[in-house]
Amino acid sequence: MILFKNILIPIDGSDDAEVAVKKAVELYEPFKTRVHLVYIIKSRVRFSLFQSSSDQLHRKAEILLGALRKLISENDGCGVTSSVMEESNPTYSLGSHILKHEIDLMIICRKKRVGFFSFQVDEERIAKRTGCPALTITPGSLQHPVRSILLPVDSLLPQRKIQLALAFAKKYNAKIHLVIAMNPGSANGREYIDAFYIAYKMLKECGHTPQYKVLPGMDSLPSLLHYAEDVNAGMILLQPEKRSSITSLIHKKVSGLISPLSALQVLTLQPYI
């Protein structure tokens, strides 16, 4: 089974791209995987004479892309393509690129906590729109092997999450931890328990008997991250937030809660396509 055929790495000019490239190389299948490098020049109205010209920005982009292509080509059988886009809305443009090129994984590196007004690619919106999983990593995640994978379960049966959790567990020889967060006596408690049981059964039938944990409380993200630390999880699979784009602005995203030194990787994906 090929884990990923087309991996996308968005680049914004920082040195985060090299970390993402190393992760892509870690996941590629020789002669079967292609890495797509997309350098994003954020177009904006220029108010200062000291801002770089478009030509200068494009030259900078080509220099960095050349270095990254060379890094990837050192690995036999790993194909690579690169392009530059100048966009005011990189999240939308990357979504179109993903659909056009049949990207099945996007990798983003976060080297610092995300600020409220940060201009950045919104991996949650891309995962919602395209169905493409988005893997958010930090430099710290490269220094630690993935030994355990956290798989939260809600009232929907996460079949696609189970498939990817199994694929990563096989890739890293890792243990899967099933987790459910719910309040005792909640109205949809039965649905959560049923989905949890079916997920456990599916994993066991696939030859992978998981660990499991029930966490009290419906504000699950802080509890999940705390539990991830307790079990030294190397990866957690999360669904995009169900909030609207406006209300989600006032909530901290998971990428803003994780330290740059953390070993935890976050895979954001829609449970169904």
Which of 125-134, 186-195, 212-221 holds the top average pLDDT? 125-134
Average pLDDT of 27-35?
93
**272 pLDDT higher than 50:** yes
Residues 6+ apart with CB under 8 A from 156: 195, 271, 272
Who contacts 195 (Cβ-Cβ below 8 Å, separation ≥6)? 153, 154, 155, 156, 157, 158
Q: Are 265 and 235 in contact (CB under 8 A)?
A: yes
Average pLDDT over residues 224-248: 73
List the domains of the chain with CATH numbers. Answer: 6-139 (3.40.50.620), 145-233 (3.40.50.620)
CA distance 55 to 49: 14
Q: Report the pLDDT value the prediction gives residue 205, as an integer from 0 to 100.
A: 94
Q: What is the pLDDT of residue 221?
A: 73
Lookup: tokens for 8: 């996308």
Give me the pLDDT at residue 220, please. 63
Q: Specify the pLDDT at position 244.
A: 42
Return the amino acid letter for 221: L
Separation between Cα atoms, residue 18 and residue 189, nearest integer Å: 44
Query: Which residues are within 8 A (CB) of 70 and not within 5 positions of it... i.e. 6 or more apart?
Result: none
The model's pTM is 0.85
Average of per-residue pLDDT values in the chain: 81
Give residue 165's pLDDT: 93
Lookup result for tokens 């079949």: 159
Distance in angstroms (rounded) separating the CA atoms of residues 53 and 40: 15
